[in-house]
Amino acid sequence: MMAATDNSAAIVRIRGLGKAFGSNRVLNGVDLDVARGEVVTIIGPSGSGKTTLLRCVNALEIYDEGSITLDGVEVGYLEAAGRRRRRKERELSAIRAETGMVFQMFFLFPHLTAAENVMLGLRKVRGKDKASARAIAERWLTRVGLADKFDSYPAQLSGGQQQRVGIARAVAMEPKVLLLDEITSALDPELVGEVLGVVRQLADDGMTMIVVTHEMAFAREVSDLVVFMDGGRIIVEGRPDEVLEKPSHERLKTFLSRLDSNRKRAS
């Protein structure tokens, strides 16, 4: 079902990425490679550019400088005859269809049932007929533990269930990379586990993922690579045990200890 892991090739290659909103430079030359089947976690304080980086990968934001390639295809621009132009809406849609994204606030389509949420992209983007789209939707919803919720509307589901539909909607498109943007931040603490369980399963199945999260224990467990960003740059990059357990960089240390004390205060 999922692509066989071929760790030699980077499926996402980011070079010298720069992005500004007005005078506010949010990305300042980011380089990152994500290999097929790899799980890369991005951590960092808010405003560090991690969500913007994620949104550049599926062209929800278009970067100003540098390059992102997805399976060898430049994401935001078309390069022809030495000239570079922003991709048109139609081209961006085609690229976005090859990536999956799960949002912090779920953003399920409230007028569609769980199954229909998953089916929409299969029908209108992949051009599948209703029966086969339904079959794929049911298979994925079953895998995320919602076999009894096919015909429920989002408003009838808990936050954790909604987010699992969000994951099913993204992975049913068989994306080359799955982007998770703080997907447990809007959930009640007791619902976080069920969502992370689904992500863990996807990681085990070899899904390539870029994850923005504040769940450090989870990051340590599933990541092949942890990236710490601050001020629009990657400050530290390495194996989870190196980065999270024996942090050497000063800013990273401060960030981790602040997270830690917040958690203690909360509990």
Partner 1 sequence: MEVALYSLPFLLKGAVVTLWVSAIVASCSLLLGVLLGTLACYAPAPIRWAITLYCDTVRGIPVPVLILTVYYAVPLLLGFPINNYADAILALTVFTTAQVTEIARGAIQSIHFGQIEAGKAIGLGFWPRVLYVVFPQAIRRFLPPWVNNLTDVVKGSALISLVGIVELMLQIKQVAGRIYVPMPVYIAGTIIYFLINYSLSSASRKLEGRFAHIRE
* HEC string for the chain: CCCCCCCCCEEEEEEEEEEEECCEEEEEEEEEEEECCCEEEEECCCCCCHHHHHHHHCCCCCCCEEEEEECCEECCEEEECCEEEECCHHHHHHHHCCEEEECCCCCCCCCCCHHHHHHHHHHHCCCCCHHHHHHHHHHHHHHCCCCCCCCCCHHHCCHHHHHHHHHHHHHCCCCCEEEEECCCCCCCHHHHHHHHHHHHHHHHCCCCEEEECCCHHHHHHHCCEEEEEECCEEEEEECHHHHHHCCCCHHHHHHHHHHHHHHHHHC
Q: Is 90 in the site for partner 1 (CB under 8 A)?
A: yes
For residue 140, the minimal CB distance to partner 1 (Å) is 13
Q: Which x/- pattern over 102-121 shows residues binding partner 1 (rule: CB under 8 A)? A: -x-x-xxxxx--------xx
Among 4, 24, 89, 266, binds partner 1 (CB under 8 A): 89
Nearer to partner 1, 16 or 110 (CB): 110
Among 3, 94, 147, 217, binds partner 1 (CB under 8 A): 94
Q: Which x/- pattern over 50-79 shows residues binding partner 1 (rule: CB under 8 A)? A: --------x-x-------------------
Nearer to partner 1, 79 or 151 (CB): 151
Q: Which x/- pattern over 167-206 shows residues binding partner 1 (rule: CB under 8 A)? A: --xx--x---------------------------------
Which one of 88-96, 200-208, 225-233, 241-249 is the stretch in contact with partner 1 (CB under 8 A)? Answer: 88-96
Per CB under 8 A, residues contacting partner 1 are 58, 60, 89-90, 92-94, 96-101, 103, 105, 107-111, 120-121, 124-125, 153, 155, 169-170, 173
